[in-house]
Amino acid sequence: MNRRETTAVPSPYFREEHEALRAQLRRFVESEIKPHGEEWEKQGFVPRDVLRRMGELGFLGIRYPAGYGGSEMDTLGSVVLAEELGRSTFGGTAITVLVHTDMASVHLANAGTPEQKARLMPEIIAGRAICAVAVTEPEAGSDVKGIRTTARRDGDTYVLNGAKMFITNGVHADLYFVAAKTSADARPSQSVSMFLVEKGTPGFRVSRALDKHGWRSSDTAELVFEDCRIPTENLLGGEGQGFYAIMRNFQNERTVIGAMAMGEAQAALELTLDYVTTRKTFGTTLFEKQAIRQRLAMLAAKVEAGRQLVYSAAWLDAQGVDCTREVSMAKAYCGELVNEVMYTCVQFHGGMGFMRESAIERMSRDARVQSIGGGATEVMLEEVAKRLTR
Ligand SMILES: Cc1cc2nc3c(=O)[nH]c(=O)nc-3n(C[C@H](O)[C@H](O)[C@H](O)COP(=O)(O)OP(=O)(O)OC[C@H]3O[C@@H](n4cnc5c(N)ncnc54)[C@H](O)[C@@H]3O)c2cc1C
Pairwise CA distance, residues 118 & 106, whole Å: 14
Cα–ligand 1 centroid distance for 148 (angstroms): 16
User: Best substitution site from 99, 131, 253, 372 to test ligand 1's pocket, by max atoms within 8 Å of Cβ?
Assistant: 372
3-state DSSP call for residue 253? helix
Which residue type sits at 248?
R
pLDDT in tens, 93-103: 999 999 999 99
Burial 154-163 (b: 16+ CB within 10 A, else e): eeeebbbbbb
What are the backbone angles phi and psi of residue 205, rounded to the nearest 5°?
-150, 155
Cα–ligand 1 centroid distance for 375 (angstroms): 6
Which residue type sits at 339?
N
Pairwise CA distance, residues 315 & 308, whole Å: 10
Output the ligand 1 site: residues, CB below 6 A: 99, 132-136, 141-142, 166-168, 212, 215, 220, 369, 372-374, 376, 378-379, 382
Pairwise CA distance, residues 335 & 4, whole Å: 25
In contact, 51 and 97? CB cutoff 8 Å: yes
3-state DSSP call for residue 151? strand
What are the backbone angles phi and psi of residue 268, rounded to the nearest 5°?
-65, -40
Residues comprising the chain, all counted = 390
- Residue 253 appears among annotated catalytic residues: yes
Pairwise CA distance, residues 16 & 351, whole Å: 43
Residue nearest to atom 16 of ligand 1 (CA): 373
The tens-digit pLDDT sequence of the chain (390 residues) is: 445 555 455 789 999 999 999 999 999 999 999 999 999 999 999 999 999 999 999 999 999 999 999 999 999 999 999 999 999 999 999 999 999 999 999 999 999 999 999 999 999 999 999 999 999 999 999 999 999 999 999 999 999 999 999 999 999 999 999 999 999 888 988 999 999 999 999 999 999 999 999 999 999 999 999 999 999 999 999 999 999 999 999 999 999 999 999 999 999 999 999 999 999 999 999 999 999 999 999 999 999 999 999 999 999 999 999 999 999 999 999 999 999 999 999 999 999 999 999 999 999 999 999 999 999 999 999 999 999 987
Instruction: Write down the catalytic residue from 84, 123, 253, 326.
Output: 253
Which DSSP letter does residue 137 get? Answer: B
Q: With the C-alpha atoms ordered 351, 355, 360, 365, is the resulting torsion angle positive or negative?
A: positive
Q: Closest ligand 1 atom to the C-alpha of 369?
A: 53
3-state DSSP call for residue 153? strand
Q: Which residues pair with 221 in a beta bridge?
A: 167, 209
Cα–ligand 1 centroid distance for 169 (angstroms): 17
Residue nearest to atom 37 of ligand 1 (CA): 142
What are the backbone angles phi and psi of residue 225, rounded to the nearest 5°?
-120, 120
pLDDT in tens, 102-129: 999 999 999 999 999 999 999 999 999 9
